[in-house]
Structure 1
Amino acid sequence: MNKELFLLAHCKGVSQQLLRKIMSIDPTLKLFFHLKDHEWESYFQFKKEKIQAIKKEYHSLSFLALEKKYKKDNIMFLSLYDQAYPPLLKEISDPPPFLFYKGDIELSHSPQSIGVVGTRNPSRYGRFALEYIINPLILNNWVIISGLAKGIDALAHTLSINQKGKTIAVIAGGFYHIYPKQNQPLAEQIMTSHLILSEHPPSTPPQKWHFPMRNRLISGLSKGTIIIQAQKKSGSLITAQQALEQNREVFAVPGSIFDEYCGGTNELIQNGAKLVQDVSHIIEEFPG
């Protein structure tokens, strides 16, 4: 694990995109810390003030202090170069250079992993559809991956736990800012016996743009993603689009044409997503 990379990941002035660019130009980070200001500007198109701010913040951080704090809070971390890094996530175009996690990282290596996302306000039909579709997957040892959000996400995690299955939650923001707060008890359960992942340092509060970033990790960790009840403009459809861009399967559960919360899923089917009426429609896409 590269300590320099770890500290750079904690610098507020260093975005995920910049961190990936730095790694592509200088994977060992041997060159990076010897660049002169004008070379930073040439490589990364930064103004001198930002370069100096990043350098100052970097030198203010202590690897040992952060490591000690995270160890006390049972927060683990790994880089893209580590063997334990989720293999499916390595395949996407923009894998996080760093991951922070609590729980069993081996779950992210499961050959049977499926993403489940949907509305924050599921109807009775949505709840029944979720249980009908994913219960057999759980009983057949599929790891259920979702985003710890209110609604379908939380229900998918809870169903996995109640049925003695395994689940992975991907969160926006860091571990010291679990969102939404009402799902803190569920998060604690997942941390204890399952797995929670974040690409953000633990002290990072969730921001609006973190949620679509999180969604690409849900689809990236999964062989396919199931969409259950989604409006035409929703985060679930962003996840579906990201799954397609990652060359992953997209499954959509159809709904009533009179239900606004099914408009997005029905549109996905119209545009080529696989219509799912029972679990066999998912299983048949993964022979063996």
Structure 2
Amino acid sequence: MDRERLFILHQCEGIGWKRIYQMLKADPTLAQIFKMKSRELSNFFQLSEAAAEKLSRHLASSSFKKLFDTYNNANITFIAAGDPDYPVMLKSIFDPPWVIYAKGDVEYFSRTCISVVGTRKPTPYGIKSTSHLLLPLIRQGWTTVSGLASGIDTAVHRLSLSEKQPTIAVLGHGLGMVYPDSNKFLADQIVKKGILLSEFAYHNRPKKWQFPMRNRIISGLSPGTLIIEAQQKSGSLITADQALEQGREVFAVPGSILEPSCSGTNTLIQNGAKLVADFTDIVAEYPKAFSEAFS
């Protein structure tokens, strides 16, 4: 796999994971694909004429140095699948990103991680549960992973930073912006003691369909994912499903049957997620979770 060609290909909007997989399978170095005309690209990879023409122009006109400088000037590290810095846990999932972009200290990928997600509108119970369960782990040096969304995600990142411990925020868009706007300051703090991470190109803006893709990275970075308050059909439950598909442990905080924000987590527990009442409930499963992740 040629890193520079992969990097350039990855910058082309509309060329997703499956399409890159097809191209790498046909041409592992991507050398021949970079020489193809639009009609050849269309025929080989079932692209529309417009998509093939756009890709052909992109491959012909893009300069690795110019694109790379955009990231380098923003202190963003480009990590391709197969690079030594690529997170080991993430590499083992079914569909690891071909390229990830990290802003911060990539050494934090090697620490014990716990992924945590939940509602954007937490109750006081949810916020207290977050602190009750995570503080002991954070103080033992665990790194939290979440999605920088409002609510539980924000509480998780802030909790780690308050203890001067690292946290990883996985974004559903490129690192050229921060969403939501209210978390711009938090994002700046994370860069100083953690990592902002994305599989999307620098200028890529938030799109609804990208956030479920982002969720597989959140769960993929850790042996286990903790869900704290989630309604039915929420993004947090998508993350839980991703974790299960990846063979990772799923933990859930129980809640009131009268509280809508707890209905999703209660259902997870009914369906086999581990009920968590204390941080030791998580610690007890982690040796097993690590071994199963690499089995």
TM-score for both structures, normalised by structure 2: 0.93
Aligned residue in 1 for 2:273: 273
Q: CA deviation at 1:36?
A: 5.6
Aligned residue in 1 for 2:217: 217
SS in 2 for 1:201: coil
Whole-Å separation in 2 of the counterparts to 1:139 and 1:21: 44
Q: Which amino acid aligns with 2:55?
A: I
Pairing 1:56-135 to 2, within 5 Å after superposition: 56-110=57-111, 112-135=112-135
SS in 1 for 2:287: coil
SS in 2 for 1:251: strand
Answer with 52-61 or 75-84: which moved more: 52-61
Contact 1:177 1:206 in 2 (8 A): no
Contact 1:13 1:53 in 2 (8 A): no
Answer with 86-95 or 235-244: which moved more: 86-95
Aligned residue in 1 for 2:291: none
Whole-Å separation in 1 of the counterparts to 2:171 and 2:161: 18
Whole-Å separation in 2 of the counterparts to 1:26 and 1:224: 35
Q: CA deviation at 1:244?
A: 0.1
CA deviation string 1:243-272 (max 9, x = no partner): 000000000000000000000000000000
Q: Which amino acid aligns with 1:129?
A: S
Structure 1's unaligned 5+ residue stretches are none
Aligned residue in 1 for 2:45: 44
CA-based RMSD of the aligned residues comes to 1.5
Q: 1:38 to 1:203 in 2, by over 3 A?
A: closer
Q: Percent identity?
A: 47
Whole-Å separation in 2 of the counterparts to 1:277 and 1:59: 56
Aligned residue in 2 for 1:170: 170
Contact 2:122 2:152 in 1 (8 A): yes
1:240 and 2:249 are equivalent in the alignment: no
Structure 2's unaligned 5+ residue stretches are 289-295
Q: Which runs of 4+ in 1 moved over 6 A?
A: none
Whole-Å separation in 2 of the counterparts to 1:120 and 1:63: 39
1:257 and 2:257 are equivalent in the alignment: yes
Whole-Å separation in 1 of the counterparts to 2:46 and 2:78: 29
Aligned residue in 1 for 2:56: 55
SS in 2 for 1:128: helix
Whole-Å separation in 1 of the counterparts to 2:25 and 2:170: 25
Q: CA deviation at 1:42?
A: 4.4
SS in 1 for 2:282: helix
Whole-Å separation in 1 of the counterparts to 2:203 and 2:139: 36
Whole-Å separation in 1 of the counterparts to 2:36 and 2:55: 13
